[in-house]
């Protein structure tokens, strides 16, 4: 199916999940806009016409259920909001949960982790007939890598505790897309570690549950099934207000998550040619100057300035975590997540200032 005239919106608070779903849509040539909150989803549907909205049901702030109800209320002034297909992205497919989704205004659901077969069924069912063209070229077949998983550059992807082959399959079958997925996960993971800690400090189990829920699916998507299962258990404990279980197991979960993030950072750095190099004071001063310019470009969302600055910074990065974090910044820029990118720039500026 070729649906290059179709336009969809994907709302999920985890960048890695957005990358995976967008990658699975690539063979259909569908235009896909991405957002990370219910608030952003509402703004998007208010400013553009979509054929389908994929909405994660559980997000911080305005969640998917509330956002969908608000979209339907917009139908009082414009009937298109009453008929716009809104598909719930959910790990919970219990009959009672699905009934709640339908009552809240969703048209259908797509179980997470999303797979290509289920996604195709939703597209066939909900895309307008005129947008589903007979294929000039059928879907691009997944890239098969044989035994070990290699990128176009030829380097094997090896992350301890991660089933990389399964992660590549979940990401659409292409190692290069998998690298984009783990780069997005790296950025999300760094943020979520801090957010989970703040939730426990304040006793906010509702927010804790939302954040660990997002990590659960993202971990599964990249092939970290053991850590995904640990996140699932913590999510269930938060839902049951079992603070004692969380306090007993959260520390080990965060430690394992940090270890995974360190490995991913090293993997991304290696693919950027990020072997540690010795930078002199003048080099680091120039690097920090470039970071400050990038931060200003992010504030005004000037892509013409961002891209060349980022390219120069990636060439000049003094290896290690610097290169990996720049990779995550690049991923956020692709997703138009400029606030998240700016937060990572601040992190690099802090590190560079301690150099």
Does 281 have pLDDT greater than 70? Answer: no
Pair (185, 236) in one structural domain: yes
202: domain range?
164-271
Pair (71, 122) in one structural domain: yes
Indicate the pTM of the whole model: 0.72
Rounded distance between C-alpha atoms, residue 126 and residue 113, angstroms: 20
Residue 175 three-state SS: helix
Q: What is the pLDDT of residues 43-87, one digit of tens each?
A: 999 999 999 999 999 899 999 999 999 999 998 888 999 999 999
Percent of the chain exceeding pLDDT 90 equals 48
Rounded distance between C-alpha atoms, residue 55 and residue 37, angstroms: 9
Of 354 and 167, more confident: 167
| pLDDT, mean of residues 116-122 | 94
Rounded distance between C-alpha atoms, residue 210 and residue 45, angstroms: 23
Number of domains in the chain: 3
Pair (13, 115) in one structural domain: yes
In a domain, 170, yes or no: yes
* Cβ within 8 Å of residue 218, ≥6 positions away: 14, 16, 17, 185, 188, 189
Kindly report the CATH number assigned to the domain that includes residue 200. Answer: 1.20.120.160
Band the pLDDT of 135: cuts 50, 70, 90: low
In a domain, 137, yes or no: no
Pair (229, 315) in one structural domain: no
pLDDT attached to residue 352: 67
In a domain, 240, yes or no: yes
Kindly report the CATH number assigned to the domain that includes residue 109. Answer: 3.40.50.2300
Residue carrying structure tokens 């430690």: 255
Pair (29, 76) in one structural domain: yes
Percent of the chain exceeding pLDDT 70 equals 87
Picking from 235, 246, 184, the residue whose alpha carbon sits closest to that of residue 210 is 235
In a domain, 104, yes or no: yes
Rounded distance between C-alpha atoms, residue 5 and residue 131, angstroms: 6
pLDDT attached to residue 171: 78
Does 265 have pLDDT greater than 70? Answer: yes
Does a cis peptide bond (omega within 30 degrees of 0) precede residue 113?
Answer: yes
| pLDDT, mean of residues 127-136 | 79
Rounded distance between C-alpha atoms, residue 334 and residue 341, angstroms: 10
Of 20-24, 32-36, 149-153, the one with minimum mean pLDDT is: 149-153
pLDDT attached to residue 153: 45
Does a cis peptide bond (omega within 30 degrees of 0) precede residue 87?
Answer: no
Pair (314, 207) in one structural domain: no
Rounded distance between C-alpha atoms, residue 225 and residue 113, angstroms: 12
Pair (14, 127) in one structural domain: yes
């Amino acid at each position: 199916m070729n649906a290059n005239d179709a336009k969809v919106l994907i709302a999920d608070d985890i960048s890695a999940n957005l990358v995976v779903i967008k990658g699975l849509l690539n063979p259909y040539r569908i235009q896909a806009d991405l957002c990370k909150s219910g608030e952003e989803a509402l703004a998007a549907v208010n400013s553009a016409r979509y054929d389908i909205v994929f909405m994660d049901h559980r997000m911080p702030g305005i969640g998917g259920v509330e956002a969908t109800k608000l979209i339907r209320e917009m139908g009082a002034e414009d009937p298109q909001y009453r008929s716009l297909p809104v598909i719930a992205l959910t790990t919970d497919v219990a009959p009672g949960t699905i009934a709640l989704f339908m009552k809240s205004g969703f048209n259908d659901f797509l179980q997470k982790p999303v797979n290509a077969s289920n996604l195709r069924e939703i597209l066939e069912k909900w895309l307008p007939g005129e947008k589903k063209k007979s294929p000039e070229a059928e879907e691009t077949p997944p890239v098969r890598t044989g035994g070990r998983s290699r990128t176009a550059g030829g380097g094997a992807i090896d992350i301890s505790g991660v089933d990389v082959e399964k992660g590549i399959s979940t990401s659409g079958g292409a190692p290069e897309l998998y690298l984009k997925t783990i780069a997005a996960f790296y950025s999300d993971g760094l943020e979520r570690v801090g957010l989970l800690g703040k939730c426990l400090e304040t006793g906010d189990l509702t927010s804790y549950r939302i954040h660990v829920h997002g990590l659960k699916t993202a971990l599964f998507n990249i092939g970290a099934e053991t850590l995904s299962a640990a996140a699932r258990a913590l999510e269930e404990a938060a839902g049951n207000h079992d603070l004692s279980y969380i306090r007993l197991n959260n520390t080990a979960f965060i430690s394992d998550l940090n270890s995974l993030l360190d490995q991913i950072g090293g993997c991304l750095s290696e693919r950027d040619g990020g072997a540690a190099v010795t930078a002199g004071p003048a080099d680091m001063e120039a690097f920090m100057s470039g970071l400050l310019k990038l931060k200003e470009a992010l504030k005004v969302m000037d892509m013409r300035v961002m891209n060349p600055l980022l390219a120069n910074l990636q060439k000049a990065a003094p290896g290690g975590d610097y290169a990996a974090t720049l990779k995550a910044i690049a991923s956020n820029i692709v997703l138009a997540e400029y606030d998240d990118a700016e937060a990572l720039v601040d992190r690099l500026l802090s590190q560079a200032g301690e150099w």
